[in-house]
């Protein structure tokens, strides 16, 4: 057969990614073992019933046809209102392009700002798809690690040191996956000044903005940033719609109008009835307050349950759906810790090194389980940590 393009093989290079612990835990759970899965960030509850009913109504009403490339006008209006709330900048529908999920919005942002051979800076720890998204654009990138000792707040000086003459963009994520860190205003102001002085795009992944404990700051609202910031957003986390695949990109109107051409040759618009359900969910905030409350409560429950646990330190963990724990004082090899924890206590977690070198020595705990399950996992972690130390002594 003819050979495939080299581009495909370069998106995700072969090799270990750290996800082996998760896949093993899932396989064992499916085989009947009582594994507690704390390794993946997907809600343990269904999409709000009001959103589901809106979708059913749209299907039965005959909304089965093509939609506008940038999204239905009413959908873009609804997304603009949410973006105004998210970023603190008055946003119009012309500054919005709808996309099938936050990942496609990120893909559009990267394709829209970088040509082949251009350079970007990616702040880590990062969501797993970031490197592959830049490789798909055949762009070069440098990873800058936000340090655990700084609470995973990135330093502008470290970002500046990574810039090259052909750097075009910086990618950040707040509230952060995997660390749960919510970047401070001071941190974002320093990055914004760098973007303005070097005339750079800032790609800001804000899909967890409703889960930030009320402390989210969007860099789009900072001086000089509205014209150079592309905000990636999604309904997956905020509205409990992970499988619906609907998100959007906010940016300058001139960039958004250009990106409509990308939708022409990729998505050709969104699904009609899903779009109409999303409109209802956005206009009525279906599930938003409840979901935010669930994760804020779970975060407090879990952190209270492990408070005072010797040799384990909480890093970041102010928002999002995750808690990041520094276990290096017990076992510097976070992947070994995760495997041993799975084998001894039947709890699946993610090794921090899966998300970048700065998270090495950590484990990521997903809060996508009910309080009683999180409390049981915390008890097992206490037992395991104590046993691990005694064996090492």
pLDDT digit string, tens, across residues 303-316: 999 999 989 999 99
- Structure tokens given for 92: 């119009």
CB-based contact 341:381 (threshold 8 Å): yes
pLDDT band at 391 (very low <50, low <70, confident <90, very high): low
User: Would you say the C-alpha torsion 347, 335, 11, 264 has a positive or negative sign?
Assistant: positive
Residue 180, pLDDT > 60, answer: yes
List, by residue range, all CATH 3.40.640.10 domains of the chain.
63-284
Phi-psi region of 157 (alpha: psi -120 to 50; beta: other; left: phi over 0): alpha
User: Would you say the C-alpha torsion 152, 376, 389, 24 has a positive or negative sign?
Assistant: negative
The DSSP output letter for 219 is G
Arithmetic mean of pLDDT over the chain? 95
- CATH classification for the domain delimited by 63-284, as one of 3.20.20.70, 3.40.50.720, 3.40.50.10540, 3.40.640.10: 3.40.640.10
Question: Which stretches does DSSP call E strand in 27-166?
Answer: 36-37, 96-99, 119-124, 140-145
Residue 28, pLDDT > 60, answer: yes
Residue 13, pLDDT > 90, answer: no
The whole-number average pLDDT for the span 125-149 is 95
What residue has token string 């779970």? 298
pLDDT band at 17 (very low <50, low <70, confident <90, very high): low
Lowest-confidence segment of 43-52, 187-196, 205-214, 240-249 by average pLDDT: 205-214
Residue 14 has a CB neighbour count (10 Å cut-off) of 6
pTM for the whole structure: 0.94
**Which candidate, 188, 224, 227, places its Cα nearest to that of 206?**
188
Lowest-confidence segment of 2-16, 86-100, 183-197, 241-255 by average pLDDT: 2-16
How confident is the model at residue 15, as a pLDDT?
A: 55
List, by residue range, all CATH 3.90.1150.10 domains of the chain.
6-46+288-384
Residue 52, pLDDT > 90, answer: yes
CATH 3.90.1150.10 fits 6-46+288-384, yes or no: yes
Helices (H) and strands (E) in the chain, counts: 13, 13
How far apart are alpha carbons 33 and 29 in whole angstroms?
A: 5
Helix %, strand %, coil % for the chain, to 5?
45, 15, 40
pLDDT band at 219 (very low <50, low <70, confident <90, very high): very high
């Amino acid at each position: 057969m003819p050979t495939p393009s080299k581009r495909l093989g370069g998106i995700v290079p072969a090799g270990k990614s750290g996800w082996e612990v998760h896949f093993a835990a899932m396989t064992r759970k499916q085989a009947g073992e009582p594994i507690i899965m704390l390794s993946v960030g997907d809600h343990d509850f269904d999409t709000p019933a009001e959103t589901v009913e809106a979708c059913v109504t749209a299907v039965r009403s005959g909304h089965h046809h093509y939609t506008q490339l940038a999204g239905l006008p009413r959908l873009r209006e609804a997304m603009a209102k949410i973006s105004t709330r998210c970023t603190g900048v008055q946003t119009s529908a012309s500054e919005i392009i709808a996309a099938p999920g936050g990942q496609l919005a990120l893909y559009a942002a990267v394709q829209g700002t970088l040509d082949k051979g251009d350079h970007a800076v990616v702040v880590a720890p990062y969501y797993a798809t970031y490197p592959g998204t830049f490789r798909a654009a055949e762009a070069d990138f440098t990873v800058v690690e936000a340090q655990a000792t700084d609470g995973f707040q990135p330093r502008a000086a470290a970002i500046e040191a990574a810039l090259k003459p052909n750097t075009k963009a910086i990618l950040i994520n707040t509230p952060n996956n995997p660390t749960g860190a919510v970047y401070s205003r001071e941190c974002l102001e320093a990055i914004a000044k760098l973007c303005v002085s070097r005339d750079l795009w800032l790609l800001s992944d804000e899909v967890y903005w409703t889960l930030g404990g009320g402390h989210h700051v969007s860099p789009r609202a900072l001086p000089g940033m509205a014209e150079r910031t592309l905000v990636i957003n999604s309904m997956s986390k905020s509205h409990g719609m992970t499988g619906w695949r609907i998100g959007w990109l906010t940016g300058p109107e001139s960039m958004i109008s250009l990106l409509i051409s990308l939708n022409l040759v990729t998505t050709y618009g969104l699904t009609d009835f899903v779009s109409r359900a999303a409109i209802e969910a956005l206009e009525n905030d279906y599930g938003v307050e409840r979901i935010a409350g669930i994760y804020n409560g779970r975060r407090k429950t879990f952190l209270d349950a492990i408070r005072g646990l010797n040799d384990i330190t909480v890093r970041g963990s102010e928002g999002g759906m995750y808690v990041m724990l520094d276990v290096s004082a017990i076992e510097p090899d976070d992947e070994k810790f995760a495997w041993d924890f799975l084998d001894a206590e039947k709890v699946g977690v993610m090794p921090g090194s899966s998300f970048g070198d700065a998270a090495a020595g950590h484990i990521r705990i997903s809060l996508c389980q009910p309080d009683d399950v999180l409390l049981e996992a915390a008890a097992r972690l206490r037992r395991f940590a104590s046993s691990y130390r005694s064996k090492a002594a």
